Amino acid sequence: MHAVPRHAVVRRAVLRRAPLTPAGLSYTVLSGPKIGSSETEYEDAWFVSAQRTGPRASATGGCTVAIADGASESMLAGAWADRLTRAVGGFAGRDLGADVFAERVCAAAARWPAHVERYVRRRGRIGRPIAWYEESKLEQGAYATLLGVSFRWSAESESELAHSAGVLGGTWSAAALGDACGFHVRDARLAEAFPLERSADFDTSPHLAGTRAPDRELIEARTVVRHGTWSPGDVFYLATDAAAQWFLAEAEDGREPWREIDEVCDAAAPGDARAWLDKLRSERVMRNDDVTIVRCRLDANAVR
C-alpha cells in the first residue's frame, strides 16, 4: 500500500503504474479544514492504494481511492476516518460490493478499542488524563461517512463489462455509506453522481460507519453500490459532503463545477486552493466544513 499524507491543503501526486499495469491513474487532492479550525482539527481522510503487483496481482491491476469524513460530534473522528479509508483502500482495485465494504468497516471497528486504549494510556503518560466528558464521549464511539471507488483497466482476460460496452478504458465500482460523493465526468458532462444525486439531499444526519458494535447487515443494507465503465480521459471527483453539495448545486444550475476544481488543482500555488475555498465559504455557496476533493484522471490503456 502507498501511504500518503492527509494534512496538505493541496497535494499532487501521480500514481506510477506497476509493470503489469500499463494503464494509469493520476490524482490530485484538494483538502483543508473548516474556517476556524486548525490543520490538526481536520477530520476528513483520504487514501489512494498502490496498484497491485506481484504474484497475486491480476493481469491488469487496479486501484482503489477512498475518502471519509469524521463526524464532528464524535471524538477521534479524524483517526477513525483515516482507518476507514485505509481499510477500503486495501481493496487495491478489486470490485467493491456492499458485503465486502461492510466487512471492512466491521473489521476496522473490531480493532478500534485497542486504538482507544492506546490513546487513553498516552494521555495518562503525558500528564493529561482523560476528563469525565472524554470518558463518556469515547464510550459513544467514533463515526464517519465513507466512500470507496475501485478502478480496473480492461484487458482480454477480464472486464467483460468494459468489453461489452466497447470501451478502451475499464470498469469502476463504488461503495458509499453516507454523503461523501463521487462524480464521473466524461466529455465535459456529468455522467453520474453517487450516492446522492441532488444538492437538496444533504443534511446533518447521514448514514455513518461507527466503531461501537456495528451491525454488519445494516451497514450492508445502507451501503450504496454503483458500477460502470470508464473511458480514457474520464475524470472522477470524490468529495466529502460540503464540496459534494456545492458540486451538485452548481451542476443543477447549469454550471460545470469540475472546471473550477481543475483550475484550482492545476494552479501553481497551493495557497490558491485555500483562497478558493475561503471565497466559496464567504459567499455561502459552500458550507463551512472540512473539505476533501480527490480528482482522479484515468489515462489511456496502452495495451489495446
Partner 1 sequence: MAYSVEISRANPTCFVFLLDQSTSMEDPIAAGGEGTPKRKADAVADALNRLLFELSLKCAKEEGVRDYFHVAVLGYGARIGSAFGGELAGRDLVPLSQVADNPLRVEERAKKVPDGAGGLVETTARFPVWVDPVANGGTPMTQALGQAAALVERWVGERPGSFPPIVLNLTDGESTDGDPSEVAAGLRSLATADGPVLVFNLHVSAGQAAPIVFPASDANLPDDFARLLFGMSSPLPPHMLHYATTQGIAVSEGSRGFVFNADITSVVQFLDIGTRATDLR
Q: Footprint of partner 1 on this chain (CB under 8 A)? A: 34-36, 41, 69, 71-77, 131-137, 140-143, 145, 204-210, 212, 214-215, 218-219, 222, 241, 287-289
**Across 79-194, where does the E strand assignment appear?**
143-153, 170-177, 181-186, 189-194
CB 121 to partner 1: min, Å: 15
Which residues are within 8 A (CB) of 252 and not within 5 positions of it... i.e. 6 or more apart? 198, 199
Pick 142 or 251: Cβ nearer partner 1 = 142
Residue showing cell 465503465:
229
CB 210 to partner 1: min, Å: 6
CB 220 to partner 1: min, Å: 11
Rounded Cα gap, residues 10 and 272, in angstroms: 9
Rounded Cα gap, residues 182 and 244, in angstroms: 8
Q: Is residue 230 a contact partner of residue 173, using CB atoms and an 8 Å limit?
A: no
Cell representation of residue 14:
501521480
Pick 71 or 243: Cβ nearer partner 1 = 71
Pick 182 or 206: Cβ nearer partner 1 = 206
CB 103 to partner 1: min, Å: 15
DSSP one-letter code for 34: P
- Angle separating helix axes 257-265 and 271-282, nearest 10 degrees: 150
Pick 63 or 280: Cβ nearer partner 1 = 280
CB 90 to partner 1: min, Å: 22
CB 81 to partner 1: min, Å: 11
Pick 36 or 54: Cβ nearer partner 1 = 36
Q: What is the DSSP string of 64-102?
A: EEEEEEE-TTSTTHHHHHHHHHHHHHTTTTSPP-HHHHH
How many Cβ atoms sit within 10 Å of the Cβ of residue 135? 11
Question: Computed from CA positions of residues 216, 87, 66, 11, in that sequence, does the dihedral angle turn out positive or negative?
Answer: positive
Pick 50 or 68: Cβ nearer partner 1 = 68
Rounded Cα gap, residues 130 and 120, in angstroms: 7
Pick 241 or 250: Cβ nearer partner 1 = 241
CB 105 to partner 1: min, Å: 10
CB 178 to partner 1: min, Å: 9
How many Cβ atoms sit within 10 Å of the Cβ of residue 55? 4
Rounded Cα gap, residues 237 and 264, in angstroms: 13
Cell representation of residue 243:
464540496
Pick 40 or 164: Cβ nearer partner 1 = 40
